[in-house]
Structure 1
Amino acid sequence: MAPVAGLEARPAATLDTPRTAQMFTNTSRLHFHGSQFTNVLGDMNVTYNREEPSAVREPPPQPIAHLTTPERLYSDSESYCSQLLRRGRGFPLYIPAPRGNLPPEYGYRGVSIGDVGRVTPEGVFDFLFNIYLPADHPINDNDVPENLSPLAPYDSKNVLPIEYLAGQHVSTSAVHKVDLGLSDDGDSGAFVFDCLGPQGAVLALPLGSRIERLDRFGDMLQYTRQNAESWYRYVNGARGCQLSNGSLYLITGWEKARAWGMSTFQEIPPTRYPFRISFEPTFINSASGSQKSYRWTTSGATQTKSSGPVAMDQTPLNQTVFIHGFSISLGTSIWSRLFGTVEVAPIVDAQLGRSTKEYIPYGTQGFSKSWGGFGSFWGSGGAGGHDSGVALSDISPTQALFHPSQIMNAYLLRMQSS
């Protein structure tokens, strides 16, 4: 990050007759020495002596080398996820496909409600086990915490389903879709975007997407509070996942798509004129007319990726572009008892001077330290309060709708109680 520029020097006429309001505006450091005071304004020192009204202008100090910090570098997954998270659609996954080394049953369906896992630095959801399935279920594959007793299945009436039609996209404010004058019915599947620097991200959904989100989870929260300690002991012990506190996620919903395209850019010099990127189908199976493939075309320095060929009647809905859920955190006393107080940082973090400032058993994983803690639900396991309890924080907060009647209701309640 470049050092913040100092304030411009004021004309000499202003310095000859200083006023209190002028001299103390935007003051960053103020020192009184006898009959003098020194006001440091950006790169200029102004010394005023009450016995001698004339102001003395000193040369600006030389920059201090140790105050200059290196510019923060972001990986492609970090840039994409951090930008699209702000759109309120959910927690973005930079790699929507399930991991290839999971059971075939899991690979076919992808992320599900009740999954417990982590988000890796590469932006993929790393599934560990599902709380609604028994240990011997093919998806759990008998690799679960000790004495796991599955939670009773949730009522389907408590799941909110949403369908997004073909031709949808999610993007930051620096990316604008160009109207091609075509209907968004999925026939063309083409997108064109105009982009402005310095950074931006976009997710194109040519065939639309589907959301399923659990909107009532009281039983799930209670179940998690009772078992969170054993889960962390299992994932950091038997599974060796090296998770930091708060990096374990419980899935409450997902958004999946059969076809997608991602583009992200950063450190683009801002100009008045945008650069253009396009996402369009490149192959249609002429025999059946049901298979499509997509590719990006760009005129700027962007990172792009897309899903593989799509067979409309055969491709499973297993590409998860957003997840909803909670990050699970233990109280510091529980964490210290389980893993001690030794802080270990990955080599990359150590080289870049990053500090986790928390107790970590083996190392850091995931994005929870940047994005966790939006809205928390605390449950105490004893008399120690938060320090001995379990916190569940929403990893993908959605903005609540506001209605003006809420102001009137709040006003009436205050009047009634006064």
Structure 2
Amino acid sequence: MDDTFSESEVYCNQLMRRRRGFPLYVPGPPENLSAEYRRHGVAIGDVGSITPEGIFDFCFNIYLPADHPINDNDVPENFQPLMPYASKDLTSLAYAPGNSALTSSVQKLDLSPFAEFPGGNFVFNCGAPQGAVLALPHGSYLKKLKNLELVREYVATHAESWYKHINGARGRGLQNGSLYLVTGCEKAYSWGMASFYSTNNEFQLEFRATPRADSSIRYQWGGIHGCRDPSQHKSYDPSPKRNIPLNQTTFIHGLSISLGIGIWGKLFGKVGIREIVESRLGSANGNGNMSLAPGSSLFSWALGLPWGGGSIGGKSCAGENGNVVLSDFPPVVKIFHPAEIINDYLLRKIPNATVVMSHDDDWRDILADDPSTGFPVQSVSELLRKIDDEFSITIKDG
């Protein structure tokens, strides 16, 4: 990555390696949604997509009836909600106040080992060339669905109508694989986010606690005296006296959904699978094994460029491949999601599939930037090799 990437791209691409799900750069619910949705924010069962700004773009919830205020009768044709999940099928986890999610290029300095949060300061040492920080003064709360079998069956039955509705009536123009169903989310009352690309060897960031007039604590980013700060940062920390809702979603977990090549072509008239062009990125053979040009990375492949840059698409491949007509994708700035690569790979291996889906848990540990899991994956070929080695593909008829 380089300084041509947006702050949302740097933040999301960096923090997805922390094994906490997919990070959202805009945790709060959009103001144009209903008051009821804004009270709770992203929820299990939400269907939508992730925008270039790092927002979850909500369309409808599969557990709510069509006329519920959150769905507002704006649902796919013949929509029928899925039966509610049982509370015993949820994983619940609380992260303590003062928790943080950091990339390997960032170290949290424990200047006051007995400091209580909220109230203590966060100080981070940041190293080149890039990184990201999420500071959680009040901690956070994770709820995640454990039983996904009914959800997968429901997705397989209805994915086509979802894409028709979202790309048709809702006009989102999603690429194949960009549709997302939330099966878990981590929420916080307050947060501080920072991302950076820097040629400096090292600098420091501080997320400071300062008293408010109402005797509560407020957190804000502040520079350290004499230290250049090349980061982009923002924060959210309303006064607890306001009885704030728990609606700030820092990470989501879910299924990325793709339609089969033939179905996608029938609906939208263009290929639903991104082709790797040999002259640009290496080669791909009929078995789905991919090799990349030297220097190209997992992220740059997903962004449609041999290295650097911040858009996906452009000219991919022309002509016919079997009974699929390949066409250009318009350049669109896009945050990379690993499951889209996995889904495309599965569509290559199983070209007659009608629906392909993969969960964030499928790539979470493989991409982890954690010494305990080995060296982090840096290329598409490494990712797909690990997917082949560690997972089996489940094919269901009907």
Q: Could you tell me how far apart the structure 2 residues matched to 1:349 and 1:242 are? A: 18
Specify which of 121, 142, 146 is matched with residue 211 of structure 1: 142
My pick for the range that moved more, 358-367 or 389-398, is: 358-367
Provide the residue aligned with 2:360 in structure 1. 395
**TM-fit CA distance, 1:148:** 0.5
Provide the residue aligned with 1:332 in structure 2. 261
**TM-fit CA distance, 1:303:** 0.5
Alignment of 1:34-183 (within 5 A): 73-183=4-114
- What is the root-mean-square deviation of aligned Cα atoms in Å? 3.3
Provide the residue aligned with 2:278 in structure 1. none
2:132 is the alignment partner of 1:201: yes
Matched position secondary structure for 2:364:
coil
Identify if the C-alpha distance between structure 1 residues 389 and 364 changes in structure 2 by more than 3 Å, giving closer, same or farther: farther
Q: Could you tell me how far apart the structure 2 residues matched to 1:365 and 1:391 are? A: 24
Q: Which amino acid aligns with 1:248?
A: L
Provide the residue aligned with 1:294 in structure 2. 220
Q: Could you tell me how far apart the structure 1 residues matched to 2:85 and 2:334 are? A: 28
8 Å CA contact retained: 1:165, 1:209 = yes
Q: Which amino acid aligns with 2:199?
A: P
2:211 is the alignment partner of 1:280: no
Q: Could you tell me how far apart the structure 2 residues matched to 1:248 and 1:224 are? A: 11
Q: Could you tell me how far apart the structure 2 residues matched to 1:163 and 1:312 are? A: 22
8 Å CA contact retained: 2:143, 2:186 = yes
**TM-fit CA distance, 1:184:** 4.9
2:248 is the alignment partner of 1:319: yes
**TM-fit CA distance, 1:87:** 1.1
8 Å CA contact retained: 1:244, 1:359 = no
Specify which of 199, 202, 221 is matched with residue 269 of structure 1: 199
Identify if the C-alpha distance between structure 1 residues 314 and 364 changes in structure 2 by more than 3 Å, giving closer, same or farther: same
Q: Could you tell me how far apart the structure 2 residues matched to 1:312 and 1:257 are? A: 16
Q: Deviations over 1:353-374 (max 9, x none)?
A: 8536476887757435655345
8 Å CA contact retained: 2:167, 2:174 = yes
Q: Deviations over 1:292-334 (max 9, x none)?
A: 3433325321101001423256010000000000111001100
Flag structure 1 segments of 5+ consecutive residues without an equivalent: 2-70, 404-418
Provide the residue aligned with 2:290 in structure 1. none
**TM-fit CA distance, 1:183:** 2.5
Q: Which amino acid aligns with 2:221?
A: R
Q: Could you tell me how far apart the structure 1 residues matched to 2:3 and 2:351 are? A: 33
**TM-fit CA distance, 1:278:** 0.2
Number of equivalent positions: 322
Q: Deviations over 1:167-215 (max 9, x none)?
A: 1111111111111124253142410011111111110001100000001
Matched position secondary structure for 2:355:
strand
Q: Could you tell me how far apart the structure 2 residues matched to 1:140 and 1:82 are? A: 30
Q: Could you tell me how far apart the structure 2 residues matched to 1:146 and 1:164 are? A: 40
Q: Could you tell me how far apart the structure 1 residues matched to 2:131 and 2:336 are? A: 21
Q: Deviations over 1:232-267 (max 9, x none)?
A: 00000000011000111000000010110011111x
Rg (Cα) greater in structure = 1
Q: Could you tell me how far apart the structure 1 residues matched to 2:142 and 2:239 are? A: 19
TM-score by length of 2: 0.73
Q: Could you tell me how far apart the structure 1 residues matched to 2:242 and 2:96 are? A: 17
Provide the residue aligned with 1:232 in structure 2. 163
Q: Could you tell me how far apart the structure 2 residues matched to 1:161 and 1:317 are? A: 15
8 Å CA contact retained: 1:133, 1:150 = yes
Provide the residue aligned with 2:277 in structure 1. none
Q: Could you tell me how far apart the structure 2 residues matched to 1:143 and 1:353 are? A: 30
8 Å CA contact retained: 1:377, 1:391 = no
Q: Deviations over 1:98-134 (max 9, x none)?
A: 0110010000000000000011000010100000000
Q: Could you tell me how far apart the structure 2 residues matched to 1:360 and 1:242 are? A: 14
8 Å CA contact retained: 2:313, 2:330 = no
8 Å CA contact retained: 2:15, 2:103 = yes
Provide the residue aligned with 2:323 in structure 1. none
Identify if the C-alpha distance between structure 1 residues 385 and 176 changes in structure 2 by more than 3 Å, giving closer, same or farther: closer
Q: Could you tell me how far apart the structure 1 residues matched to 2:21 and 2:232 are? A: 21
**TM-fit CA distance, 1:342:** 7.6
Identify if the C-alpha distance between structure 1 residues 103 and 390 changes in structure 2 by more than 3 Å, giving closer, same or farther: same
8 Å CA contact retained: 2:90, 2:145 = yes
Q: Could you tell me how far apart the structure 1 residues matched to 2:353 and 2:341 are? A: 17
Q: Could you tell me how far apart the structure 1 residues matched to 2:242 and 2:345 are? A: 42
**TM-fit CA distance, 1:161:** 0.2
Alignment of 1:223-262 (within 5 A): 223-262=154-193
Percent of paired sites with the same residue: 44
8 Å CA contact retained: 1:378, 1:391 = yes
Q: Could you tell me how far apart the structure 1 residues matched to 2:244 and 2:117 are? A: 16
Alignment of 1:300-379 (within 5 A): 300-311=229-240, 314-341=243-270, 354-355=312-313, 357=316, 364=332, 366-367=334-335, 372-374=340-342
Q: Which amino acid aligns with 1:269?
A: T
Identify if the C-alpha distance between structure 1 residues 337 and 362 changes in structure 2 by more than 3 Å, giving closer, same or farther: farther
Structure having greater relative contact order (Cα 8 Å, sep ≥ 6): 2
